[in-house]
Amino acid sequence: MSKARSAARLAAVQALYQMDMENIGLARLLDEFHAHRLGAEIEDAVYTEAEQSFFDDIVSSVHARRTEIDALIESKLGEQWKIGRLDKTMLQLLRAGTYEIIARPDVPTATVIDEYLDVAHAFFDDKDAKFVNGLLDAVAKEKRA
């Protein structure tokens, strides 16, 4: 697991969240992250250099395949849950992880799940991280069996 890919995953979740909240176009969002966020120094905090091509792939592919990804996530939620009930950050995290499972066979399943668990711990408590683990594991069992 490279630090550059870990940083790309975290940045992708943040970018997808920003895209959802601000209704910003994909090209503008990618440009903004390339120029100001990936490996940048903001208010004396230096961000880990992210693997830009990996970041771009996650963000643009989740954007392009959002309907398919959301349907897959919702199918794993349980009858009483709808995707709209999920926390907005949680939803972006699940979208990015689901995308990697269904479209990046070059990344081992355990790596995808471990990496998004780390991202979950940056925003959520252990209970929510276990939810991420369970949902991504269910997606992987269906899509990578």
Chain centroid to Cα 134, Å, comes to 15
Each residue's pLDDT, cut to its tens digit, for the chain (145 residues) gives 588 899 899 999 999 999 999 988 999 999 988 887 776 555 555 556 788 999 999 999 999 999 999 999 999 998 888 899 999 999 999 999 999 999 999 999 999 999 999 999 999 999 999 999 999 999 999 999 7
Residue 49 has what DSSP assignment?
P
CA distance 91 to 96: 9
- Smallest CA-to-CA distance from 6 within 144, 111, 139 is with 111
46 three-class SS: strand
CA angle 74, 68, 98 (to 5 degrees): 70
In angstroms, the Cα distances linking 75 to 17, 39, 58, 61, 78 are: 21, 36, 21, 20, 7
Q: Thinking of the domain 3-143, which architecture would CATH place it in?
A: Orthogonal Bundle (1.10)
Residue type, 100: E
Residue extents of the structural domains in the chain = 3-143
77 three-class SS: coil
Beta bridge partners of 41: 46
Q: In this predicted structure, what is the pLDDT of residue 145?
A: 78
Q: In this predicted structure, what is the pLDDT of residue 66?
A: 96
Q: Tokens 């009930």 belong to which residue?
A: 85
In angstroms, the Cα distances linking 121 to 35, 90, 91, 115, 118 are: 27, 11, 14, 10, 5
